[in-house]
A and B are shown apart, each in its own frame.
Chain A
Amino acid sequence: MSLVTTTNAEYREQLHNNRLGLWLFFLSEAFLFAGLLAARFYLWGNTRPALNQFLGLTVTVVLLASSFAMNRAETAIIHDDRDTFLNYLLATAILGVIFLVGVVGFEWQGHIRPTDGAYGAILYGMTGMHALHVLSGVVFIFIVWNNGRKGHYSADRHWGVEACAIYWHYVDLVWVFFYPALYLMGHVVH
């Protein structure tokens, strides 16, 4: 969007186009993640490796909490509550980093290696691709937080915040499907 002041009607039209573009991007990403999910069911069938259930549940709860914090931040800027917006944005980023530490720092140090055939390939492929999106989401959050600190957003115009929030919720949405597929579905065999 141009930095030149636009009329409200022009801004609303641009906003609608921006949203549509973002959702089309999500559709393309959905094919990527759906492909990984399909590979999981094709290669693992009704089996799954023995993963740390407590860790899986913990990182899931952390990601849900981060989605809540992001929603709170977005709601705050809609109501022009700048302090709450900045604080909860930081909280979201911190929770995202905790999620990454849980997956990369702990789950990846388990007994399954990337070279362990189909189980290793799918586990690292799915969690790795998702973790990359979480990492990029955290970077996005810090950029938005810095812009918010400088006063770039208002209750009427905060597309950057909305885009960041929707992207973060999308990352959470992907994990909603990945978590049961990796940790819950099928019999433990490996």
Chain B
Amino acid sequence: MNATVLYLGASVVVVSLVVGGGITLALAFHRLSILIAVESDSSFTPPTRVAAPPTEPMELALWKREQETYSKARMRRITAYRGGVMVLLWLSLLTAVEFVANLIGAGTASMFVIAIIKAAIIAQYFMHISSLWLEGGSH
């Protein structure tokens, strides 16, 4: 087996590990975050677990509202976490594309284009650059 074939094979393995590893890491973080969010939801006091919902109308209405608020807040949090995972997946994919592009002899310009796309994703989704000119900001 000559050196070129060996090198190409090793590169394919490395890229697969990077992409596979990135996806696995993202999924692991995702599962871990759901687990942590469920187990240590210290920011909210979940409604007192009762065997059955209260029967008194006023208490029942309050209980239902608390359940709904808790559920909505939890879904918002999970959706926000999921956004971060998607960004990580895209950045991993672009890094893999960049690495493969180098292997097949792509030019400097294409490397820069990929770098600029990655930079734009980081600037918008991680650094929230648009909060500079949008009303309200992030918090």
Taking beta carbons and an 8 Å cutoff, which residues of A are in contact with B? 12, 15-16, 19-20, 23, 46, 53-54, 57, 60-61, 64-65, 67-72, 75-76, 78-84, 87, 155-158, 162, 165-166, 169-170, 172-173, 176-177, 180, 183-186
The reply to whether A184 and B98 contact each other, CB–CB distance below 8 Å, is yes
24 A-B pairs whose Cβ atoms sit less than 8 Å apart in the complex: A12-B137, A16-B137, A23-B129, A57-B14, A61-B18, A61-B21, A64-B91, A67-B122, A68-B26, A70-B126, A72-B29, A75-B84, A79-B73, A79-B80, A80-B44, A81-B43, A84-B40, A87-B36, A156-B139, A173-B119, A177-B119, A180-B98, A180-B111, A184-B98
Interface size class of B (residues with CB under 8 A): 35 or more
Closest 6 CB pairs of A and B: A80-B43, A184-B102, A68-B88, A79-B77, A169-B126, A180-B111
Minimum C-beta distance from A101 to chain B (A): 18
The reply to whether B84 and A82 contact each other, CB–CB distance below 8 Å, is no
The reply to whether B92 and A72 contact each other, CB–CB distance below 8 Å, is no
A-B contact sample (15 more), CB < 8 A, given A15-B137, A82-B42: A20-B132, A23-B129, A54-B14, A60-B95, A61-B22, A67-B91, A69-B29, A71-B84, A79-B73, A169-B122, A169-B123, A170-B127, A173-B127, A185-B102, A186-B108
How many Å lie between the Cα of A91 and that of B122 in the bound state?
19
Q: Which residues of A contact B85 (CB under 8 A)?
A: 68
How many Å lie between the Cα of A7 and that of B123 in the bound state?
29
The reply to whether A173 and B122 contact each other, CB–CB distance below 8 Å, is yes
Q: Which residues of B contact A60 (CB under 8 A)?
A: 95
Given contacts A79-B80, A177-B119, contact A72 B33 (CB under 8 A): yes
How many Å lie between the Cα of A185 and that of B29 in the bound state?
32
